[in-house]
Amino acid sequence: MPACRLVTFAAALLAIALSAPASAADSAPLSVRITSPLGRMGASTKVRIVAQIRDTPDAVLQPVRFYVDGVLLETDADGPPYAVEWLDENPFERREIAVQVEDDLGRAARDEVVLEPFDIVEVSQVTSVLLEAGVYDTRGRFVSGLVGASFTVSEDGVPQAVDMVSHEALPATFALLIDSSQSMSRRIDFVQDAARRLVDFLRPRDRVLVAPFARGLGAITGPTDDRKTVLEAVGHIQATGGTSILDSLVDVVGKLPVDQGRRAVVLITDGYDENSAMPIEEALAAVKAAQTTVYVVGIGGVAGISLKGERVLRRIATETGGQVFFPPREEELVAVHERLAADAQNRYLITYTPSNQRMDGSWRSVSLTTSPEYKVRTRTGYLAPKPPPVRPELEFTVTDANRTHVGLSIEDLVIEEDGVEQRVEAFHEAVTPVSIVLALDASGSMRKSATAVVDAAREFVNALRPEDSLALLLFSDQPVFAHDLSTNREVTFKAIEEYQAVGGTALYDALADSLSRLKRVESRRVVVVLSDGRDENNAGTAAGSVRTVDDVIGLIRESEATIFTIGLGSKVDRSFLDKLGDLSGGEGYFPAGVEGLQAEYQRIIENLRRRYVVSYTSTNGERNGEWREVRIRSKSPGVVVRSRGGYFTPEQ
């Protein structure tokens, strides 16, 4: 390909991103400005930190120092361009970049850029869809002046109501994805020379990424709004290695900012893709999901452009709402440039609210039409958001056969959900505050034990951590909250002193009220219940509660609360109290007499302080509100793990 053709060709590319006059130079004798990066990309990637330096001709610069978070990264003493490569390992943490320079005349300059953490936007519903569209007449000229009534939108064949149509220039981030593989070696110089002609087109709010690629992406320059930085980055590209077009396209799309207007990629390549691991279908799905327009300009490299490569390039541009150009003659490059600039800078913005608001991650086909004499170019659809992943969090204890607490590490854990093993993502000791309902049996049969009950309850309250909230519920013929959840222990002590034993035993109602109250709190939830009898009225001839055992069991699962029971005497329903502990991940305690109450309360305190929390992303992402059985076990023999045994999945 002749040099003049490639010079004009590259002008067509960068004109998409470059469109406004340069800012005035700093009037200071020595100045430095960081021009790349000016924003964050949402992945760990290698970037070029670039500084533009101005000084008087008679001065000699000292080595330019580049800092990250106050630590010297590297110096550059080779003259312009002043740039170093830096691996941004964690884009979700704040970073401060600084460049400092001195000259032999004793002058100094410094510039700093703060890279704020990359924001993750978790979409919770489909809400509205934005379409960028170009409308053209039969001669390929952009058609302006259309209004909302001019367009018809359908999604999966279902007509949709258009919310808004506007024709405006949005700020954009353009990624110049330049093939720097060995097959482009004879053309790289021409592309670099051509880029120097394009510094007059950068619009004030546009930014550019320069991303060379071969087998993968090279060091990225940008995002930047500085013309000189863009030109130096293009001039820095050297042709070498194999080619991974699809892999590199998906990679660079993932690095474009999500909240700064339009996103577009200008792909410059000869179409030979020898090394990509990603199939074309997956690559297109990723680009479409990112709502990125791809413009392709095919350049015949050492071996020209293959038919297969041309088909792939056409498909990429067409399905993302962009355009593809294979100019056969030099004189046609002027028209290519005009069409690229018009398509990038003249777009209709059309929004509609889909009638299908399901979050199912499915592909939705979109059709946008207007008058029959016009051709509309826009993306062919979008991926509906997927529901958030299901991430259960379960609390458990680990003991030996004698119920003595033992230590545990994450390597010892095995978790199975509905029989399918899961990968543990978080494991730690349970240290967050606890909300506790202390439910004390105040029926007539407790009269002889009242003094011991009061003394033991006071000791239990004294042993709680200051940050734990406590509510006191007393139950006899019916349950009554003496006070609600509070960290004010004096309120609890006062209520305990007023304890009186009289009436029947509404045990099920007491448990139901306790669990219902805990459903409304966000912290860890615990019920501690003390009783010396079964659920019965004062005469012992009928049930003492309105609620049933099934009601209580249902509330255990709904509230995700842990229940500890203390059963006094021989009249308690031991099997029921044990069942409460088994279902909730708690325990049942049965002292021989009232003198053992304080010891059992102490065991509960120890249990609360020796609990673990485990979390994982379920392999079953369905959100249907159903109960899932979870088994947590240790690889070590003789170790007993107790948990609530599962969880209810959130609903869609």
Tokens 């452009």 -> residue: 305
Residues 410 and 277 in one domain: no
Residues, the chain: 652
Q: Say if CB 578 and CB 588 are below 8 A apart.
A: yes
Same domain, 493 and 642: yes
**Residue 196 in this model has a pLDDT that exceeds 80:** no
Q: pLDDT class for 289, splitting at 50, 70, 90? A: confident
Largest CA distance in the chain: 107
Residues 518-527, mean pLDDT to the nearest whole number: 92
- Other CB atoms within 10 A of residue 483 CB: 14
Q: Is residue 363 part of a domain?
A: no
- Mean local confidence (pLDDT), 571-579: 92
In a domain, 381, yes or no: no
Range picked from 211-215, 274-278, 479-483 for highest mean pLDDT: 479-483
Whether 358 maps to a domain, the answer reads no
Domain encompassing residue 512: 388-652
User: Could you tell me if residue 40 is inside a domain?
Assistant: yes
Do 473 and 600 lie in one domain? The reply is yes
Q: What is the mean pLDDT of the chain?
A: 85
Last residue of a domain, one of 344, 374, 400: 344
Which residue, 363, 365, 366, 174, is CA-closest to 285?
363
Given a cut of 60, whether residue 492 has pLDDT beyond it is: yes
Query: Which of 23-37, 229-243, 490-504: highest mean pLDDT?
Result: 490-504
Verify that 334 and 392 share a domain, yes or no.
no
Of 344, 377, 396, the residue at which a domain comes to its end is: 344
**Domain stops at, among 344, 370, 401:** 344
Which of the residue ranges 1-5, 130-134, 608-612 has the most confident prediction, judged by mean pLDDT? 608-612
Q: 330 and 405 in one domain? A: no
- With a cut of 80, say whether residue 423 has pLDDT above it: yes
Strands (DSSP E) contained in 430-557 are 434-441, 469-475, 479-486, 524-531
> What is the pLDDT at residue 373?
93
Number of helical H runs and strand E runs in the chain: 13, 35
Residue 379, domain member (yes or no): no
Give 579's contacts (C-beta < 8 A, 6+ positions apart). none
Instruction: State the pLDDT confidence band at 619, using cuts at 50, 70 and 90.
Output: very high
| pTM of the predicted structure, to 2 decimals | 0.53
- What is the structure's pLDDT at 123? 42
What is the rounded CA–CA span in Å between residue 148 and residue 146?
Answer: 7
Same domain for 392 and 336, yes or no, is no
DSSP annotation string for 579-613: HHHHHHT-EEE--SSGGGHHHHHHHHHHHHHTEEE
Confidence check: pLDDT of 454 > 50? yes
Q: For residues 320 and 449, state if they share a domain.
A: no
Q: How far apart are CA 531 and CA 568, in angstroms?
A: 6
Residues 568 and 650 both lie in one domain: yes
Q: What percent of the chain has pLDDT over 70?
A: 87
Q: What is the pLDDT of residues 109-148, one digit of tens each?
A: 999 999 888 655 444 455 788 888 888 888 777 888 898 8
Q: Which of 119-128, 176-185, 519-528, 604-613 has the lowest average pLDDT? A: 119-128
pLDDT of residue 148: 87
pLDDT at position 421 is: 96
Q: What is the CATH number of the domain that holds 333?
A: 3.40.50.410
Give the pLDDT score at 3.
Answer: 35
Question: How many CA atoms are closer than 13 Å to the CA of 252, on its beta-carbon side?
Answer: 35
Same domain, yes or no: 338 and 423: no
* Tens digits of residue pLDDT in 78-101: 888 899 989 888 887 889 999 999
340 & 434 share domain: no
Residue 53 lies in a domain: yes
Q: In this structure, are 194 and 328 located in the same domain?
A: yes
Domain for residue 99, yes or no?
yes
| pLDDT at residue 168, rounded to an integer | 66
Which of 166-170, 536-540, 600-604, 619-623 tops mean pLDDT? 600-604
By mean pLDDT, which of 382-386, 485-489, 566-570 is the weakest?
Answer: 382-386
Domain count, the chain: 2
Q: What is the mean pLDDT of residues 248-253?
A: 93
Domain assignment of residue 421, yes or no: yes
| 187 shares a domain with 69 | yes
Apex 223 CA angle, 220 and 228, nearest 5: 85
